[in-house]
Amino acid sequence: MTDTEALLAVLRRAPVVPVLIVDRLEDAVPLGTALVKGGLPALEVTLRTDCAMKAVEAMSAIDGGVVGAGTILDPSQAREAVAAGAKFLVSPGTTPAILDAALDLGVPILPGVATASEALMARERGFKILKFFPAGPAGGPTYLKALASPIADVMFCPTGGVTAENARDYLKLPNVVCVGGSWVAPGDAVKAGDWGRIEALAREATGLKG
């Protein structure tokens, strides 16, 4: 299985990849468990907090979950995330160094792009599944629809400004494999430990179709 096939196998399991900010390590496992129970197995833990790497490590043990690390900014973060148990990587943008690191590590990466030129650069390196970020400010569904014909062999996971209300506008496009969103794990619910609410939001998200 190629890295592209491995990544597709993860992303196609549900229409939404939760984008998670974990402020307290004790929240990691119950949060991830609620999302997986709700039907969202691919979990992107963003490396924006002090406990994020430990959260990746803790979530990697969740039965049925596939944990990835997001907000990868450089090769050292990529290596640390994989060592912590990340099964895929997500970057907000794309640099040759980040792509090289992912290839060296043998772990699928969802490289971030915002323009057609950036998508072509990643495509030239063999990456056909890309993160479209920030999706809303970068042009939204209209922009991605315009790319579908000229760059037909590239698929996207739009993230950034994607909500329960507009997710279907992205998912109906032929070049969108899934969307990334934080609405399935709202901060107030995580802070309150309301895992039932998060599981319910995940179940709602699994019903999103194009």
Catalytic residues: 44, 131
Whether the full predicted model's pTM is greater than 0.85, yes or no, is yes
Helix (H), strand (E) counts: the chain: 11, 9
Residue 66 domain-assigned? yes
- The tens digit of pLDDT for each residue in 87-113 reads 999 999 999 999 999 999 999 999 999
Q: Per residue in 138-190, pLDDT tens?
A: 999 999 999 999 999 999 999 999 999 999 999 999 999 999 999 999 999 99
pLDDT in tens, 1-44: 557 788 888 899 999 999 999 999 999 999 999 999 999 999 99
> How many structural domains does the chain have?
1
Structural tokens at position 204: 């709602």
DSSP-assigned letter for residue 71: -
CATH number of the domain where residue 103 is located: 3.20.20.70
Q: Is the dihedral of CA 134, 136, 139, 144 positive or negative?
A: positive
Question: For the chain, how big is the Rg over CA atoms in Å?
Answer: 16
Query: Containing domain of residue 126, as a range?
Result: 3-203
- Joined together, the tokens standing for residue 55 give 């959260």
Residue 67 lies in a domain: yes
Cα diameter, the chain:
46
User: Is residue 208 situated within a structural domain?
Assistant: no
3-class DSSP state of 39: coil
